[in-house]
Amino acid sequence: MNSKAVRALRKKFIFIAMLAIAFVIFFLVMLLNVTNYVATRREIRQVLELMCEQYGEERGTASMGNDTGRDYSTDSKALEKAASAGWLRDDSFDLFALFTGYYRDVSSNYYERVKTLDPYFAVLLNQEGNVLEILPSDISEESAKVAAAFAEQTYDEQKEFGNNGGYYYLMKETRYGSVVSFFDGSAQITAMHRLLYASIVICMGILIIVFWPVYFFSDRMIQPELRNIERQKQFITNASHELKTPLAVIRANTELVELMNGESEWTTSTLRQVDRMNGLIKNLVTIARAEEKADKTALAEVDVSAAVKDTADTFAPVATQNGKELVQEIEENVRLVADEAAIRQLASLLLDNAIKYCDEGGKVTAQLSRRGKAKGIRLVVSNDYAAGANVDYSRFFERFYREDSSHNTEKGGYGIGLSIAESIVSSYNGSISASWKNGMISFTCILL
C-alpha cells in the first residue's frame, strides 16, 4: 500500500465515521422531536376533550333546542377570508408539516389571527349537522361565521381529531347531537418549530466540532504507516545502489573468466542472472519513484495519440515475430497534460504484457480515445486469453504476482510490470482495471 492509498483510506474512514455520527444524531433529533410532537398532540387532545365535556354536557341541555336568534349561516366573505388566511386548510397530517415548515405562514400571523378568532371555541351541532350555537356566547359575528364554517367542514369530513389551519379540533357525539371543540395550536406549533430548528442547529454544531478531532486523530493514526512507506522507498533506493556494486563485480569477474577460459554454459547463465537482477533493481526503483506525486510544474500538454502510436509501432515487429497480430485503434489528436515519458512507459508495459500472455496466433489491440464529455482519456490494451474465465484479476496489480502459481519465468519479466503501470496511473489521479470477456482480457486505464 502506497502513501496515496493510505490517505485515501483515511478519507474513507473520516467519511464513514462522520456518517455514523450524523446518523446517530439524526436519530436522536427525530426521536426528540417526534416525542415532543406526540406529547403536544396528546396534551392538546386532553384539553379538547375537557372542552367537549364542558360545552357538550354542562351547557348542552340549556343550549340544545333553544333558538338564540343568532344567524350562524356561513357567509361567503367570511369563508373566503378564512381560506385566504389558510385557516380552512386541512393539515391533519401535521407531523409532515412540522418537519417541512408548512405552518410557517400560518404561525407567523398568529397574533393578527387572534384578533379575529378566539384562541378556543366550540360549535354545537344537531343530528343533521346544523349549527345550533357557538360558545363562548360573546364570540364576534365574524368569528362565529368562520367557526361555523370550521364545524361544518369537520362534520362533513367525519374526522374525529385533527388540525385545520393551525386550529386543532375534536368532534364528540353527545345525547344532544355533536360538539366540535377548537383550540388554536399556533403557539404549540411555533414551540415545536423552535425545538426542531434549535436541535438541528445544535446537531450541525456538534458535527462540525466532532469533525476536527476525527480529522486530527486520523492524521495522527496514519503517520506511522506513512513513515514506514517512506522508509521502504528509501530502503529500495539504498539497496539498489548497494546491490549494483557486487553485481558489477560479478559481471566483471565472469567476463574475465570468459576471456581466460572461453565462454561456457556457467558463465552465460551467470551473466543472464546478473542482467536479470539489474533489471529487477531498476524496476523496483521505478515503482518507488512512480508512487511519488507527479510534479505538476514539470508537466506539459502531450500528444498522447502520437506517443501511444510510436510505442505501438515499436512493438509491432515483436508481435509479428511471436506470431501475433497487433491492431491499433488510436483516435487522432488526443491530448493530455502529463509527462510524455510516463505515457510511453505505461503503453510499453501494457503492450509488452499483452504480447507475452496473448494466445498463440492471437490478436493484441491498443485503443485510445477521449472520455466523451468527461474529463481525461481512456487507454485500453486487450489480448486474446482463452484461459481467463476463472482468474482473480484483482491481484494482477500486486507486485511479483503471477497467475501461474509456479512463477515460471520463461516468458521473461519480473511480475511487477502491471504494478508499475498502476503506480504511473495513480500518480496522475487515474485508475486502471483488468477484465475478461469473450476470451479476451482487457486492461483499461483512465487518465485524468
- Please report the DSSP string for 146-205 in residue order: HHHHHHHHHHHHT-SEEEETTEEEEEEEETTEEEEEEEE-HHHHHHHHHHHHHHHHHHHH
Cβ–Cβ < 8 Å for 149, 78: yes
Angle of helix 186-261 relative to helix 3-53, nearest 10 degrees, comes to: 170
The Cα–Cα gap between 44 and 189 comes to 11
Map 60-122 to HEC letters.
HHHHCCCCCCCCCCCCHHHHHHHHHCCCCCECCCHHHHHHHCCCHHHHHCHHHHHCCCCCEEE
Question: Which is it for the CA torsion 425, 429, 430, 433, positive or negative?
Answer: positive
Q: Spell out the residues 6+ positions from residue 48 whose beta carbon is closer than 8 angstroms to its own.
A: 161, 168, 169, 170, 181, 182, 183
pLDDT at 318: 87
- In the chain, the amino acid numbered 303 is D
User: Among the residues of 103-185, which ranges form H helices?
Assistant: 104-108, 110-114, 141-157
Query: What is the SS3 assignment for 395?
Result: helix
How do strand 325-330 and strand 363-370 relate by DSSP bridges? parallel
How far is residue 343's CA from residue 352's CA, in Å, rounded to a whole number? 14
- Taking the C-alpha atoms of residue 391 and residue 224, their distance in angstroms, rounded to an integer, is 35
Note whether 242 and 233 are within 8 A (CB).
no
CATH of domain 297-447: 3.30.565.10
Per-residue pLDDT at 363: 92
d(CA 432, CA 386): 22
Residue ranges, comma separated, of all CATH 3.30.565.10 domains in the chain are 297-447
If one counts every other C-beta atom within 10 angstroms of the C-beta of residue 160, the result is 12
Cell 367542514, residue?
A: 153
DSSP letter (8 states) at residue 165: T
Q: What is the pLDDT of residue 235?
A: 72
Q: What's residue 80's pLDDT?
A: 52
The answer to whether 136 and 218 have CB atoms below 8 angstroms apart is no
Task: Collapse the DSSP code of 417 into the 3-class scheme (helix H, G, I; strand E, B; otherwise coil) and give the result.
Answer: helix
Alpha-carbon gap, residue 359 to 319, rounded angstroms: 11
- CA separation for the pair 193, 224 (Å, rounded): 48
DSSP-assigned letter for residue 387? T
What does each of the 448 residues of the chain score in pLDDT, given as a tens digit?
A: 567 777 888 888 999 999 999 999 999 999 999 999 889 889 888 888 888 877 766 555 544 444 444 555 544 454 455 544 444 444 444 444 444 444 444 444 433 444 456 677 888 887 777 777 777 777 767 667 777 777 877 777 777 888 776 778 888 887 767 888 888 887 888 888 888 889 989 999 999 999 999 988 888 888 888 787 777 777 766 777 777 778 888 888 888 888 888 888 888 888 888 887 877 777 677 666 665 555 555 578 889 999 999 999 988 888 888 889 999 999 988 888 888 888 888 898 899 888 888 988 899 999 999 887 667 889 999 999 888 777 777 777 776 555 554 444 455 444 577 888 888 888 777 888 888 888 889 999 988 8
Nearest Cα to Cα of residue 127 among 184, 182, 178, 198: 178
pLDDT at 339: 83
